[in-house]
Amino acid sequence: MEPPLKTDAEWLALSIDHPSAFGVLVNRYQKEFLAKVTFMLKNKVEAEDIVQEAFVKIYINAKKFKVMEGASFKSWAYKILLNTCYTHCLKQKREKQFLNSMAGEDLDLFSAQDEFEKKMDLDRVLMVISKIPQALGRILTLNIVQGKSYEDIAVEEKVSEGAIRTRIHRAKNEFKKVSKLYAE
């Protein structure tokens, strides 16, 4: 049973150091998210997979959530859910089904681009990173996804900053090659 005094944002922040706390957010939103995606895709098994993937992305990106006026945890998480669903539909070549099933307010939320989305489509980046060699993918994840500087990565990897620059350069070249294979 969850203590009632914490907000969603507080639970998310707590989950960064205490992963079990994230379960509270899953319990709060899983039914609602599952109902939305099942309605959109008309397939409960696919919906369950998408909701699970969305929760993983929410957890992975917990440090990026910022409490701002007019932007709640729920709207942030819901946007991740919609982006995950859309990416799934793109892979299945069913984006029209996705867009046709969205209510007006959902479409507005989905269409609105925040600063992070202007930089990159995280779903696509993570998919491509998963297809390149693990060592290169790890370095790119540290730099691009987690936003760590070359200097921070060098300290973490116990190598020179120059070595990290070289590895990131190689990783980006590999990323470009693999990315072309998945471009439509």
Per-residue pLDDT tens listing for the chain (184 residues): 555 558 898 999 999 999 999 999 999 999 999 998 888 888 899 899 999 999 999 998 888 888 776 668 888 888 888 888 877 777 666 544 444 444 444 444 444 444 444 444 566 777 788 888 988 888 888 877 677 788 888 999 999 989 998 998 898 888 888 877 765 4
Q: What is the pLDDT of residue 48?
A: 94
pTM over 0.75: no
Least Cα distance to 126 among 180, 165, 179, 76 occurs for 179
In angstroms, the CA 89 to CA 104 distance is: 19
Q: What is the pLDDT of residue 66?
A: 80
Indicate the DSSP class of residue 131.
T
Q: If DSSP states are collapsed to H, E and C, what string results for 45-66?
A: HHHHHHHHHHHHHHHHCHHHCC
Taking 3-state DSSP, the helix, strand and coil percentages for the chain, each rounded to the nearest 5, stand at: 75, 0, 20
Q: What is the pLDDT of residue 169?
A: 87
In angstroms, the CA 15 to CA 145 distance is: 19
Q: If DSSP states are collapsed to H, E and C, what string results for 67-92?
A: CECCECHHHHHHHHHHHHHHHHHHHC
CB atoms within 10 A of CB 99: 15
